[in-house]
Chain A
Amino acid sequence: MSACILVFVSTVLGCHYVVRLLPLWLAGHRDRSRPAMFSKGTKRKFSDGEDEMPDDGLAGAKVASSAYSLQRQSLLDMSLIKLQLCHMLVEPNLCRSVLIANTVRQIQEEMTHDGSWQVVSDSLGVEGSPSERLVATEVLCRSPSPSSTLSEQELERDTEPRLYSLVSYDDSSCREEEVVAEVIEDDNEALCSEAASNVCLSGTMSHCWEPGELRVQQNNDDICEDSRLGSGDEDVDVEEEDEDEEEEQEMSQKESKTMGQVFGTFEIKNGSSGSESALEELFSDVDASYYDLDTMLTGMQSTPKIGPYDLLDNLGPSHGPTSIGSTANCRSDLNELDHIMEIIVGS
Chain B
Amino acid sequence: MMSVTGAIGRRVGAVLDLAALNTHQSADIISTVEFNYSGDLLATGDKGGRVVIFQREQESKNRPLSRGEYNVYSTFQSHEPEFDYLKSLEIEEKINKIRWLPQQNAAHFLLSTNDKTIKLWKISERDKRAEGYNLKDEDGRLRDPFRITSLRVPVLMPMDLMVEASPRRIFANAHTYHINSISVNSDHETYLSADDLRINLWHLEITDRSFNIVDIKPANMEELTEVITAAECHPHQCNVFVYSSSKGTIRLCDMRAAALCDRHSKFFEEPEDPSSRSFFSEIISSISDVKFSHSGRYMMTRDYLSVKVWDLNMENRPVETYQVHEYLRSKLCSLYENDCIFDKFECCWNGSDSAIMTGSYNNFFRMFDRNTRRDITLEASRENSKPRAILKPRKVCTGGKRKKDEISVDSLDFNKKILHTAWHPKENVIAVAATNNLYIFQDKIN
Contacts and interface: CB of A to CB of B under 8 A. Distances in A.
Interface of A: 2-3, 6, 10, 19, 35-41, 72, 75, 78, 82, 90-91, 93-96, 98-99, 101-103, 106-107, 162, 184, 187-188, 191-192, 195-199, 201-203, 206-207, 211-219, 234-235, 238, 252, 256, 259-260, 263, 265-270, 284-285, 287
11 contacts: A39-B330, A40-B329, A90-B92, A98-B226, A103-B279, A201-B174, A202-B175, A202-B217, A211-B262, A214-B259, A287-B87
B174 A35 contact: no
Contacts, number: 187
A37 B277 contact: yes
B211 A216 contact: yes
A267 B333 contact: no
Question: Which 10 interchain pairs have the tightest Cβ spacing?
Answer: A259-B222, A214-B259, A218-B209, A203-B215, A215-B212, A94-B196, A197-B208, A192-B173, A256-B222, A188-B86
Interface string B329-372: 11011101111001000000000000000000000000000000
Given A206-B215, A217-B174, A91 B89 contact: yes
B87 A265 contact: yes
B340 to A, nearest CB: 11
B221 A201 contact: no
A98 B224 contact: yes
A35 B278 CA distance: 8
A207 B115 CA distance: 25
A212 B224 contact: no
Contacts of A203: 198, 212, 215, 217
A37 B232 CA distance: 34
A187 B87 CA distance: 10
A106 B227 contact: no
Interface string B273-292: 01111111011001000000
B212 A99 contact: no
Given A94-B178, A201-B174, A19 B333 contact: yes
A267 B276 CA distance: 36
Contact of A75 (B87, B213, B227, B279): B279
B113 interface: no
Contacts of B274: 35
In the complex, which of the residues A10, A19, A72, A91 has the most CB atoms of chain B within 10 Å of its own CB atom?
A: A91
Given A72-B279, A93-B342, A103-B279, 20 more contacts: A3-B338, A19-B334, A37-B278, A38-B333, A78-B336, A95-B246, A98-B246, A99-B282, A99-B283, A184-B86, A197-B208, A199-B174, A201-B176, A215-B215, A218-B209, A235-B219, A263-B222, A265-B87, A266-B177, A269-B219
B210 interface: yes
- Interface size class for chain B? 35 or more
A39 B333 contact: yes
Residue in B200, B223, B258, B333 whose Cβ sees the most chain A Cβ within 10 Å: B333
Given A37-B277, A39-B330, A217-B209, A96 B177 contact: no
A202 B330 CA distance: 41
Contacts of A93: 178, 342
Interface in B185-202: 196-198, 200
B246 A38 contact: no
A259 B221 contact: yes
B383 interface: no
B282 A197 contact: no
A253 to B, nearest CB: 8
B280 A39 contact: yes
B174 A102 contact: no
Contact of A218 (B208, B221, B246): B208
A238 B220 CA distance: 10
A216 to B, nearest CB: 6
B221 A106 contact: no
Contacts of A98: 224-227, 246
Interface string B213-242: 101010111111111010000000000000
Contacts of B196: 94-95
Pick from A35, A162, A263 the residue with the most CB of B within 10 Å: A35
Contacts of B280: 39, 103
B177 to A, nearest CB: 6
A113 to B, nearest CB: 14
Given A95-B196, A212-B259, A212-B260, A37 B279 contact: yes
Interface centre among A99, A191, A196, A268 (most CB of B within 10 A): A99
Contacts of A103: 279-280, 282-283
A38 B221 contact: no
B212 A40 contact: no
B363 to A, nearest CB: 20
A215 B211 contact: yes
Given A94-B227, A199-B208, A238-B219, A213 B259 contact: yes
Contacts of B162: none
A212 B259 CA distance: 6
Nearest to B342: A96
A260 B334 CA distance: 28
B172 interface: yes
Contacts of B213: 215
A72 B279 CA distance: 9
Contacts of A72: 279
B209 A199 contact: yes
B90 interface: yes
Contact of B227 (A3, A95, A162, A192): A95
Contacts of A201: 173-174, 176
A38 B336 CA distance: 12
Given A95-B227, A212-B258, A265 B89 contact: yes
B134 interface: no
A78 B280 CA distance: 13
B221 A260 contact: yes
Nearest to A215: B212
B260 A215 contact: yes
Contacts of A215: 211-213, 215, 259-260
A252 to B, nearest CB: 8
